[in-house]
Amino acid sequence: MAETEKTEPSGAQKAFGDFAPAMVGLTDDVLFGQVWERTELSPKERSLITVASLVTSGSTEQLVYHLGLAKDNGATETELIEAITHLAFYAGWPKAMSAMAVAKQVFQAA
């Protein structure tokens, strides 16, 4: 009998599990399963775009995960800090300052 491979639950599964299974499925299957796997942009480019979007919308809770993913996808801390600094002039100083505080926590914890 073949041993069943156990995979760790996704972030969406951990956050919402049985509470919002449709959201979990769309996140895992469509967003990360299809959209993020498209080859027209590299994973690093997708991460930089996502971080920029999260900074401009003030979505700091999501930023924690996506800063780590951006690093995993090849973005350096210097590039991410520079992107947030640049966005201060387009997204607003308070949003960039909040994002920079998150980045500092994420990068210093690593």
Q: Where are the beta strands (DSSP E) in 28-97?
A: none
Mean pLDDT for the stretch of residues 24-51: 96
State the fold for domain 42-110. AhpD-like (1.20.1290)
Domain boundaries, the chain: 42-110
Condensed to tens digits (0 to 9), the pLDDT of residues 77-96 reads: 999 999 999 999 999 999 99
The residue among 62, 25, 69, 76 whose CA lies nearest residue 43 is 69
What is the Cα gyration radius of the chain? 16
Report residue 5's pLDDT band, with 50, 70 and 90 as the boundaries.
Answer: low
Condensed to tens digits (0 to 9), the pLDDT of residues 45-68 reads: 999 999 999 999 999 999 999 999
